[in-house]
Amino acid sequence: MLKHGQVRALGAMSGTSLDGVDAAVLETDGDRILGFGPTAYRAYTDAERAVLRAALGKWPGEELQDALDVVQNVHAEVLRCFEGVDLVGFHGQTLAHEPRGRGTHQLGDGDALARALGVPVVWDFRSNDVGLGGEGAPLAPFFHFACAQWMGATRPVVFLNLGGVGNLTWVDPSRPAPDAPGALLAFDTGPANAPINDLMQERRGVPMDKDGALAATGAVEDGALELFLEEGYFRKIPPKSLDRDDFSLMLDLVRELNDADAAATMTAMAATAVMLGIEHCPTPPSRVLVTGGGRLNPVMMRMLAAGLDCPVEPVEAAGLNGDMLEAQAFAFLAVRAARGMTTSCPTTTGVSAAVGGGQISPP
């Protein structure tokens, strides 16, 4: 049983960009952010990343032991660095996401992790939402609502996460709760860093276009960009979500381009997808706060600033940690799940009614 009032929760996130495991402590009662604690990061080695990449697209029942070993061992290694936590929020590694088909698959064993850490672990956050008709993603919006209130925001704001896939949360902080009518709208905007990372791995043998350095030397191929924007996903009304590889066609669209032009064009694809996504917001945001690796890409940020009619800033401008926001989100959601509170609602995932998610494994 989780103690009443403020607790010290530890969240962990391993995203679709396959860079590593983020971990962060959050002080919260499940409603409010009451303090931010220490953080840690453990990058995957090239060998570990290769094992995880080989497992992408696989479902339970397929051969996944090597990938599971990587996920479990790396998470246990980084999470053991923390002391005095009341529970852990463990997202696991998304391998496949097909909410209208086979469901959603986050690789990880919360029971084993709870035994390894000696602390209760909340995990499998998405399955309940998908089982009740939701997209199962994005799940950070309830935390974004708490962030907007912690910031003291008074007008609508957008949190834009540019990880492997891009997603945004439009927040009206004047509403009383995240599942209140009109409080949130959230959805995946389109591909973000994952296809650019794949391009860099394929062409240059490196995991990413660090600081947008290659894209900065290239030119956007308008024809490829226009073909990309013909994808029907952009006209679909949110909530909506994507799998990491739903836009694998991006690599085909830039196949004939040189490396620099391909990187510039794919960066423009990700940024333009966000611009189309903002058009779905109920009212224009007062600012767009960017989290995830994309905020460190100056080319991506310049494209967004040029295409949007409001300030575009990294979340650090609001006093938040853009490297750790998702890990903090799963710490927050773990407390909500352990207390029987909602973690998603119709305007964040399309689920039929506000619902809680997550299994709880005792140590």
Q: What is the pLDDT of residues 14-70, one digit of tens each?
A: 987 788 999 999 999 999 999 999 999 999 999 999 999 999 999 999 999 999 999
Range of the domain at 31: 7-134+330-343+356-361
CB pairs under 8 A, 24+ apart, for 202-208?
202/251, 203/259, 203/262, 204/259, 207/18, 207/19, 207/46, 207/49, 208/17, 208/19, 208/293
Would the pLDDT of 152 be above 80? yes
Number of domain units in the chain = 2
Let me know whether 94 and 189 are in one domain. Answer: no
The tokens describing 298, both together, are 């100056």
Let me know whether 289 and 161 are in one domain. Answer: yes
What is the spatial distance between Cα 90 and Cα 71, in angstroms, rounded to a whole number? 11
Would the pLDDT of 325 be above 80? yes
2 domain residue, yes or no: no
Let me know whether 124 and 149 are in one domain. Answer: no
What is the spatial distance between Cα 159 and Cα 141, in angstroms, rounded to a whole number? 8
Average pLDDT of span 88-102 = 92
Mean of per-residue pLDDT scores for the chain = 95
User: Over pLDDT 70: what percentage of the chain?
Assistant: 99
Let me know whether 152 and 206 are in one domain. Answer: yes
75 domain residue, yes or no: yes
Would the pLDDT of 104 be above 70? yes
Would the pLDDT of 324 be above 80? yes
Determine the pLDDT at residue 244.
67
